[in-house]
Structures are given as C-alpha cells and as structure tokens.
Chain A
Amino acid sequence: MAAKNSATSPKISLHQIFWQFFVVGAISFGGGIVAYLKELLVKRYRWVDNDEFIVMLSISQTMPGLNSVNIAILMGDRLRGAIGAWAATLGLLLPGAVIVLSIGLLYGLNKDHPMANHVLGGVAAAAAALLATVTWNLGERTFKKRKSLALLGLTFVLMSVVKWPLYIVLAIVLPLALYIYRPTQDHKPEQSS
C-alpha cells in the first residue's frame, strides 16, 4: 500500500531521500528547520510543489510529534512509500543525534567542574529567550484574537498554574475548542440535508 507516485516527478531513490534529509538535519543549526526543508525540497529539488508542501505542513501541525519529523514521514511516504518515510526520518535525525550525544558527553564529563554551572546558566538563559521568541512568532495570530487568546490562556493556566497532567488538560480544552470552532452552515453552503 505505497503512496502514489506522481507521474510528473522521476522516481527518486531511497538513497537520495536519505541523503537530502541528512543534509537538512546536518546544516539546520539554530532551529527553523521547516524553512530549510521547504527551501531544499520544494525550491531546489522540486520533489513536491508548494501547495503539496503546505498540505504536508498542516498535517504535520495537526498530528502529534515534531513538525519537521512529520514532514519527513509524509514526504518520504509520498516519494517511496513507508520505506521512504523511514529513510527520510533517519536521515533528518542522524546528524543531530550524533552531535547532540557528543555535546551530552561533554556535559556529562564537565558538569561537576566549578565553572560549568556558570557557562550552563548563560546557555540556559539564551535557550529560554530563543524558545520564547519562537513561541511569540508562531503565536502572533493567536495572541491577537479574543477567542483563541482565551483558549490559549486556559491551556496555559491548566498546565502551568493548576499543573494538571497533559492528557487531562487536552481532554478538557480540545472538546471545548472543537465546539468553539465547530463547522457552521455558511462555511459549507453545498452541505444540503
């Protein structure tokens, strides 16, 4: 049950899929990996067109998991079925995994050094600032609308102030959000009863 290959693009080998995702996984320092994927896979290699990429991105955002990994799964599946999906994912994760483990090793060897806590304090402050700016940029639209801001606030309060487990928070806010954004009749005029 492999996904269909589009007739327009030539068959892309597993090796190529693995390698191109490996390149993105190796050069995307400092986040913004989805932008790298779009640049290489849509603009440079033209494996999919822009509309297809946007559909893949919205599936990736809807499903749990990291957006970049989900895009690798969908793109690999689209090009070469399930094996392609795993080749893409492995390629994307492998370089960062090796580097992150080396960093972890360095951290483990030096964490008891008297200076380590000072360096790590600086690193952690910068990482917090980075995560905050990424969140701010992603949330710009959400912060500006009253309904979505209220849902956002409720999610935050239940998670960080009330400190309920995540699955309970989701069991409360997801049905509520679905009710608020339920389909209305005027969205789909062709939906006749």
Chain B
Amino acid sequence: MMLWLQLASVFSMLSLLAVGGGSAVLPEMQSMLHQHFNFSATEFVHAYSVGQLAPGPNMLSVLIMGDMIDGLTGALIVALAFFIPSSILCLYAGRLWTRIGDTPWRHSLQQALEPISIGLMCSGVYTIAKESLVNWQSCAVALLVGLLLVKTKINPVILILGAGFIGLLGAYWAA
C-alpha cells in the first residue's frame, strides 16, 4: 500500500513537471527511482531503451519501470499517475486558451519555454548517454546510429534492433 502511494506520488509529480515532453524529466525520474525504489542507473537506462522499440509515445517506458517495481499493478499505477495529471491540466488549459485570446504574455510564455524544454531534453540525453556510452564499442555504435539517422530515412526501431544484434555479435567475438 505504501509502495503504491509512493509510486503514484512520484509519477504524478513527474507528470506535472514534464515541461516540453517526457524526455525532459528523465534526469529527475532516474534520481527519484534511485532514491525511492533503489533502481540502479543501468536498470533505468535499459528500461528506457527497450521501451523505444514499442510504437506510441516514447515515454511508455515508464510502464516497464512500474512493472519492474511492482509487477502489473505497478505498471498500471505508473500509467495512471504519469498520464492523467498532465492530461487534466491540458484539457482545461485548452478550453481557457481560446478564451484568453492572443495576449502578449501567452506569446512570451511560449518563447520562454522553448529554450528551457530543449535544455531539459539535453539533460535527458546526458542522463541516458552517461550510462550507455561506457566504452569505445558503445560510442562507435551510437555514432554509427546517429549518422544513419541523420543521413537516411531508416526507421529508428530497425537501427535499435540492429544495434542490439551488434552487441550480441561483439559478445561472441570477445568470448
């Protein structure tokens, strides 16, 4: 019961702090999961990364984290806590938006949020990269994937699966 309340409060807070999308809260999510649920940084990055293989919003990975903490109940609590609070806020903001009209402050807010969201996303990249780029092999794989993403239109899911396969080959090579 305590665990459920803790899961719900951690993820609903993350939901309301997710300024500029889900990857903006990755650093906070990692430190909270470590603090409250003894989640290691490696587990966190693995859960995030395999979640990228599924369709839909990229932060569905939070369900894997909930599942790892308390099975399917944990996943359900995390899903409700992570998606409902921000959605309710957006529902009412959407209704107010047109009523407020095109005020100059609304424009200021949008301009102000852009660099902040990108800055938070950069922190999200740093959180994931710090744990995943640990040797020259992983850096080489990341560089290759990055190049292919920029230069070609290959679906990222194929690249992620391919990178997993390279990891497997590398393991056999070393053995």
Chain A contacts to B: CB under 8 angstroms? 1, 3, 25-31, 33, 55-56, 58-70, 73-74, 77-78, 82, 85, 89, 92-93, 95-97, 99-101, 103-105, 107-108, 111, 115, 118-135, 138-139, 141-143, 147-149, 151-156, 159-160, 163, 165-167, 169-170, 173-174, 177-178, 180-183, 187-188, 191
Contacts and interface: CB of A to CB of B under 8 A. Distances in A.
A139 B167 contact: no
Contact of B56 (A74, A97, A151, A173): A97
A120 B113 contact: no
15 contacts: A25-B56, A29-B156, A59-B94, A62-B110, A69-B83, A101-B64, A107-B47, A120-B46, A123-B160, A124-B128, A124-B132, A132-B125, A134-B23, A153-B119, A183-B107
Contacts of A169: 120
Contacts of A105: 67
B55 A89 contact: no
Interface of B: 15-23, 25, 27-28, 31, 45-61, 63-64, 67-68, 72, 75, 79, 83, 86-87, 89-91, 93-95, 97-98, 104-105, 107-129, 131-134, 137-139, 141-143, 145-146, 149-150, 155-168, 170-171
A125 B46 contact: no
Nearest to B171: A118
Nearest to B131: A124
A135 B108 contact: no
A155 B125 CA distance: 13
A123 B164 contact: yes
- Of B95, B114, B141, B146, most A-chain CB atoms within 10 Å: B114
A29 B116 contact: no
- Of A55, A127, A167, most B-chain CB atoms within 10 Å: A127
Nearest to A104: B64
Contacts of B58: 31, 33, 66
